[in-house]
């Protein structure tokens, strides 16, 4: 057996074309670029606004079954499909999210694809990139600092210090910051109060960045952020604190999409980085609009499984952008179906050995597909667009397992099932999927059913929560805590009772319990808390024990990372 080179070695061996050459493939000239380093550039606002008015191409949404500890390669599929579309002569590009340093140094080790389906320059993308996440962190924490200074300097808005909703953020996994006390040391150090940190990807500022339509909308949304409650019981906004203008200034460059390239020299956009389990899990609307105005087919991905990022795409992103997908690609692996089919036990915590993971188990694959995959396919088809299944092949997958999975996916309603090998073969490994996507998109544009979300925008928040829980998760009911109900009643009294809902829950299960594998039924969804994101335009429903500040694993990926005497990274990103 020939061992494949590491992701890092493959990326380093690639020749990075000048970003001006890459941009010109989409008709973007050099004077419309803001260079940000070798192989990276932002697109100027003038170039963006010009392309917003152009005819829009077709949008392909890549999603997945519930993720497992083994990794399903959704970003690999997204990039590989883009390369394959270009290889068969299509005008195509992709739009993906920016990596967060929390997961990079925690578990993932990298989030720029893998094998022969990566975006470049991979090392820079996985670290500081163009500084967008730092800008979001700074803008968010500027508001935090101005809130506490506002209270100390007279508190003109009468903000009640025990009813401040706005936390602080950091782009790192640090569980010790989930609950803190600030302002210790006497009056000179400010007002003593309880506070918390969220990870930057969960920040409302991040959500605003990816949902705003233009600079004016960005500025308006920042001003609409509700930071807390006054002693009179009224909402206090960032505009009243005087923070909105300076916050928007910090986001001026971060708001511009980033262009990079795939290993095969195709244009790719990376912009925004909200997680799908605690935020809405999709890249920016303006990056999509730019790409759709420059290419015939745009491939984007939604975070985690379709019950997370894809559901939020349909009810939050599409509601803001007015653009629904023209087809959905469901990413799946043999090993994920084995897990959801009970091959490694009935709960998700057990990590099988390499031998157990690679042992053939056709029956477990069938059980997993008939439960987990079937539910994902039918949920997505219910929104009115064709669903294609992409089986991301691993070397240990057997022909019998692959045939069984293909057969079950077709039974569940997939219009096409493709075996993709983009990790090992790049674009050529995804040609079958690419051809099927082109056919599905063309047919949907000509004859497709209308986009059908689960509810209209005027439905009350709690009814939206119940609809998602019953129709996407297949829960028997929703149980709202007394404190959460009190929070929701307050938001309704303030006029926010019909906003979209962003469900914050585990990504590993259709339920709130990460241990409930497959396609669980007979459970009740517990809503622990509601959080108002008025500027972003949605309410977050926090389910079960979900945390908006992740912790590090027992052995973080950071422990294996270093740099040699030449400044080259070692032990990172595969």
Q: What is the pLDDT along the chain (574 residues), one digit of tens a residue?
A: 456 788 888 888 889 999 999 999 999 999 999 999 999 999 999 999 888 888 889 999 999 999 988 888 999 999 999 999 999 999 999 999 999 888 888 876 667 899 999 999 988 998 899 999 999 999 999 999 999 999 999 999 999 999 999 999 999 999 999 999 999 988 889 889 999 999 999 999 999 999 999 999 999 999 999 999 999 999 999 999 999 999 999 999 999 999 999 999 999 999 999 999 989 999 999 999 999 999 999 999 999 999 999 999 999 999 999 999 999 999 999 999 999 999 998 765 567 888 989 999 999 999 999 999 999 999 999 999 999 999 999 999 999 999 999 999 999 999 999 999 999 999 999 999 999 999 999 999 999 899 999 999 999 999 999 999 999 999 999 999 999 999 999 999 999 999 999 999 999 999 999 999 999 999 999 999 999 999 999 999 999 999 899 898 888 888 888 888 888 887 766 5
* Residues found in the chain: 574
Phi, psi of 110 (to 5 degrees): 170, 155
Tell the CATH topology of 7-131+254-444.
Rossmann fold (3.40.50)
pTM above 0.85, yes or no: yes
Helix pair angle (431-447, 74-87), 10° resolution: 80
Name the residue among 482, 562, 569, 573 with its Cα closest to residue 528: 482
Residues whose CB is less than 8 angstroms from the CB of residue 5 and which lie 6 or more positions away in sequence, other chains included? 13
How far CA 94 is from CA of 236, 309, 376, in Å, comes to 39, 17, 23
User: Taking the chain, what is the end-to-end CA distance rounded to the nearest angstrom?
Assistant: 19
Domain 132-250, CATH homologous superfamily name and number: Domain 2, N(10)-formyltetrahydrofolate synthetase (3.30.1510.10)
Q: Starting at the edge strand that comes first in sequence, how are the strands of the sheet with 226-230 ordered?
A: 159-164, 226-230, 235-237
Q: Tell me where in the chain the CATH 3.10.410.10 domain(s) lie.
A: 461-543
CA distance 306 to 510: 10
Q: Count other C-beta atoms under 10 Å from residue 362's C-beta.
A: 17
CA distance 344 to 103: 25
Q: Tell me where in the chain the CATH 3.30.1510.10 domain(s) lie.
A: 132-250
- Residues 504/541, Cβ–Cβ less than 8 Å: yes
Phi, psi of 162 (to 5 degrees): -90, 0
DSSP 175-226: GGGSSEEE--SSGGG---EEE-EEEGGG-HHHHHHHH--SHHHHHHHHHH-E
Domain 461-543, CATH homologous superfamily name and number: Formyltetrahydrofolate synthetase, domain 3 (3.10.410.10)
Q: How do strand 117-120 and strand 113-114 relate by DSSP bridges? A: antiparallel
Q: Tell me where in the chain the CATH 3.40.50.300 domain(s) lie.
A: 7-131+254-444
- Residues 128/224, Cβ–Cβ less than 8 Å: no
Name the residue among 553, 541, 22 with its Cα closest to residue 259: 22
The token pair that represents 231 in the structure block: 């002693």
CA distance 283 to 94: 11
- Residues 244/204, Cβ–Cβ less than 8 Å: no
How far CA 525 is from CA of 289, 514, 563, in Å, comes to 35, 13, 46
């Amino acid at each position: 057996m020939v061992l494949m080179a590491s992701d890092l070695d493959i990326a380093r061996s690639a020749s990075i074309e000048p970003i001006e050459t890459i941009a010109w493939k989409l008709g973007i000239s050099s004077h419309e670029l803001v260079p940000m380093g070798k192989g990276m550039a932002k697109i100027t606002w003038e170039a963006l606004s010009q392309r917003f008015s152009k005819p829009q191409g077709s949008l392909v949404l890549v999603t997945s079954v519930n993720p497992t500890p083994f990794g399903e390669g959704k970003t690999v599929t997204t990039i590989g499909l883009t390369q394959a579309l270009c290889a068969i002569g299509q005008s195509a590009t992709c739009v993906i999210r920016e990596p967060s340093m929390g997961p990079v140094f925690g578990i993932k080790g990298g989030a720029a694809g893998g094998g022969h389906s990566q975006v470049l320059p991979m090392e820079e993308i996985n670290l500081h990139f163009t500084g967008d996440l730092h800008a979001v962190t700074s803008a968010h924490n500027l508001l935090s600092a101005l809130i506490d200074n506002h209270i100390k300097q007279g508190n003109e808005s009468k903000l009640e210090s025990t009813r401040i909703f706005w936390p602080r953020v950091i782009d790192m996994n640090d569980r010790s910051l989930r609950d803190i006390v600030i302002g210790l040391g006497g009056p000179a150090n400010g007002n003593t109060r309880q506070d918390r940190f969220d990870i930057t990807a969960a920040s409302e500022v991040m959500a605003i960045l990816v949902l705003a339509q233009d600079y004016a909308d960005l500025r308006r949304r920042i001003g609409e952020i509700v930071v807390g409650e006054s002693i009179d019981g009224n909402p206090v906004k960032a505009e009243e604190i005087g923070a909105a203008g300076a916050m928007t200034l910090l986001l001026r460059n971060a708001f511009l999409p980033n262009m990079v390239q795939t290993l095969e020299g195709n244009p790719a956009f990376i912009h925004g980085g909200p997680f799908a389990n605690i935020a809405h899990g999709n890249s920016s609307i303006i990056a999509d609009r730019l790409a759709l105005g420059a290419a015939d087919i745009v491939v984007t991905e939604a975070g985690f499984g379709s019950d997370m990022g894809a559901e939020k795409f349909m009810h939050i992103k599409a509601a803001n952008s007015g653009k629904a997908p023209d087809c959905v690609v469901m990413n799946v692996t043999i090993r994920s179906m084995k897990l959801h089919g009970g091959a490694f036990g009935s709960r998700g915590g057990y990590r099988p050995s390499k031998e157990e993971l690679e042992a053939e188990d056709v029956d477990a694959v069938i059980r997993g597909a008939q439960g987990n995959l079937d539910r994902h396919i039918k949920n997505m088809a219910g929104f009115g667009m064709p669903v294609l299944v992409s089986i991301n092949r691993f070397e240990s997958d057997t022909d019998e397992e692959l045939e069984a999975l293909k057969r079950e996916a077709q039974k569940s309603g997939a219009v096409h099932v493709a075996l993709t090998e983009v990790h090992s073969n790049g674009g050529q490994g995804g040609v079958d999927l690419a051809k099927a996507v082109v056919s599905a998109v063309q047919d949907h544009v000509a004859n497709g059913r209308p986009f059908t979300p689960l509810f209209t925008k005027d439905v009350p928040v709690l009814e939206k929560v119940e609809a998602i829980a019953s129709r996407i998760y297949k829960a028997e009911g929703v149980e709202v805590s007394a404190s959460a109900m009190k929070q929701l009643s307050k938001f309704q009294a303030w006029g926010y009772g019909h906003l979209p809902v962003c469900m914050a829950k585990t990504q590993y299960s259709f339920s709130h319990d990460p241990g409930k594998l497959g396609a669980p039924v007979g459970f009740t969804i517990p809503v622990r808390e509601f959080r108002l994101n008025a500027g972003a335009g949605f309410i977050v429903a926090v389910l079960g024990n979900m945390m908006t500040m992740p912790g590090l694993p027992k052995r973080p990926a950071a422990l294996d990372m270093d740099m040699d005497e030449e400044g080259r990274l070692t032990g990172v990103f595969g």
